[in-house]
Amino acid sequence: MATLIENQKLLYHLTALDNMESILRNGLMPRENIEYFTDVAEQDIIDFRNKEGISHLIPFHFFKGTPFAGIVQKNNPNKEFVYITIHRDLAKKKNFKIFPTHPKHMNPLEIYEYEEGFEKIDWKLMNTRDYNDYECKEVCMAECVAPYKSIPADAFHSIIVKSEETKKYLEKLCQQIFKGKCKFYINTEPYSFIGS
């Protein structure tokens, strides 16, 4: 039986593989701090984040395969994606904040300290993962957000990739950039991506 989402250990950030060299060199940065990157988010969400003044936050989700992850992969079938993960304990220690449902779904928009936000998430609904149910779909896109200009690569727990070929590519990049082995795991999980 799968572990309940609230009892899992990691947070997940989906990005295009094209962005990984820059991320490894400069850290994972919020949208407003990046000049050039492969952007896969929908324009209405980008506009909402800009309007609400939350594009300075780095968003993570509580599990893989959220509705967001599904739609960006379907909308970009020729792009390869990876998940960057960090440990929830680190997020808590570093004072990440939480939107207990999709920020666009909140009225008024309210951001919570980590522990309070964690308690406010409807975990029972999230664990059903029924994307035909509107409320469930929105709760599944709850966000844990980092209020930082950058999260350095050595803070990552792991990178989840689709293939062994991509794993080898990232290992080679790490050797070039860090002059040695990666400080995080690179895990091959084809089943975590659409079209595998």
For the chain, what are the domain ranges? 5-151
- Give the model confidence (pLDDT) of 12-34 as tens digits: 999 999 999 999 999 999 977 66
Report the pLDDT value the prediction gives residue 102, as an integer from 0 to 100.
96
Q: How far apart are CA 94 and CA 91, in angstroms?
A: 5
pTM: 0.94
CA distance readout (Å), 27 to 14, 23, 30, 105, 110: 14, 5, 10, 29, 27
pLDDT digits (tens, 9 = 90+) for 23-62: 999 999 997 766 655 666 677 888 888 899 999 999 999 9
Residues of the chain with pLDDT under 50: none
Dist. CA 161–CA 15, nearest whole Å: 11
Sign of CA dihedral 135, 127, 80, 156: positive
Q: What is the pLDDT of residue 37?
A: 59
Q: Which pLDDT does position 60 carry in this prediction?
A: 98
List strands edge to edge, sheet with 58-60. Answer: 58-60, 143-146, 97-99, 112-113
- Give pLDDT, residue 31: 77
